[in-house]
């Protein structure tokens, strides 16, 4: 059986999208792992599957990491799916239903915005293994600000940009991701607030590894910087793949804005 797919990315954070509205729903761990693999499959950071809800402006999406695990939030992936669906349906406002909530998406020129909802700071909802000050969580040699943006994040700030850039994410990332303090593992963001107020960020994504960008991670980093008094509630985040723009609104929700790109369409055997 040949199944159609769309390959998209947001700042190099790349995705395989299955439009299952008129096609059979697909999910099998080994299939997800294979097509995510950049040597033996298509290659991507996450896979998103659109399901039929019979409502034009409301779509349900399931999100899977490249290791086959389901994840609750993916900001860049949601923006890519939203861009695809808005062009397909000829609309500029839609809702994407995920296991982490119903996310409103809009488009203005080339920018696609998703409202990621409210950040969560309660230790047991992030979740962490035990009650503690979530703004000062000790992870080996680092101190992290932990929160959830629909998935768990630990944000570590550096005072020196050079130290951030030379950090070996390949050795540090997987160790911190699976620190025993995180019962569901965690996304790890490493960041530095620059003199002009812009934030530079690198990321190790849970279940994926190093990625060029991470939307929920950019949101978590911006919120953490604001909570710790390092920045305002509106920030430009510089990632390896480009820039994302975060705004922590008066209603306590967080918006994520940036560009997306449709790379190619294809068919894959299942």
Name the residues annotated as catalytic. Answer: 74, 214
Separation of alpha carbons 253 and 119, rounded Å: 7
Continuous segment of H or E residues that includes residue 46: strand 46-55
Separation of alpha carbons 147 and 208, rounded Å: 19
Alpha helix segments (H runs only) across the chain:
29-36, 75-89, 161-165, 169-177, 215-227
Alpha helix segments (H runs only) across 59-160:
75-89
Find, among 244, 225, 266, 265, the residue nearest to 116 by Cα. 244
Is 148 within 8 Å of 137 (Cβ atoms)? no
Radius of gyration (Cα) for the chain, nearest Å? 18
Say what angle helices 215-227 and 75-89 make with each other, to 10 degrees. 130
Residue 142 pairs with which residues in a beta bridge? 139
């Amino acid at each position: 059986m040949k199944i159609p797919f769309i390959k998209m990315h947001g700042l190099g954070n790349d995705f395989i999208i299955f439009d299952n509205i008129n096609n059979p729903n697909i999910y099998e761990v080994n299939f997800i792992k294979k097509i995510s693999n950049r040597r033996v499959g298509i290659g991507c950071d996450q896979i998103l599957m659109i399901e039929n809800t019979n409502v034009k402006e409301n779509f349900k999406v399931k999100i899977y990491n490249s290791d086959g695990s389901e994840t609750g939030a993916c900001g860049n992936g949601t923006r890519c799916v939203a861009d695809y669906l808005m062009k397909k349906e000829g609309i500029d406002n839609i809702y994407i239903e995920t296991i982490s909530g119903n996310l409103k998406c809009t488009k203005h020129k080339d920018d696609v915005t998703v409202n990621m909802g409210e950040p969560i700071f309660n230790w047991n909802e992030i979740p962490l293994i035990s009650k503690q000050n979530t703004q000062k969580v000790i992870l080996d040699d680092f101190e992290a600000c932990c929160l959830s943006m629909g998935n768990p994040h630990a944000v570590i700030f550096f005072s020196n940009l050079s130290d951030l850039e030379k950090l070996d994410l390949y050795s540090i990332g997987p160790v911190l991701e699976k620190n025993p303090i995180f019962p569901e593992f965690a996304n790890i963001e490493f960041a530095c607030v620059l003199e002009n107020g812009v934030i530079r960020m690198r990321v190790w994504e849970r279940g994926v590894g190093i990625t060029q960008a991470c939307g929920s991670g950019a949101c978590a980093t911006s919120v953490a910087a604001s909570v710790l008094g390092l920045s305002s509630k509106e920030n430009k985040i510089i990632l390896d793949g480009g820039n994302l723009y975060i705004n922590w609104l008066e209603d306590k929700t967080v918006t994520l804005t940036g560009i997306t790109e449709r790379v190619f369409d294809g068919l894959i055997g299942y």
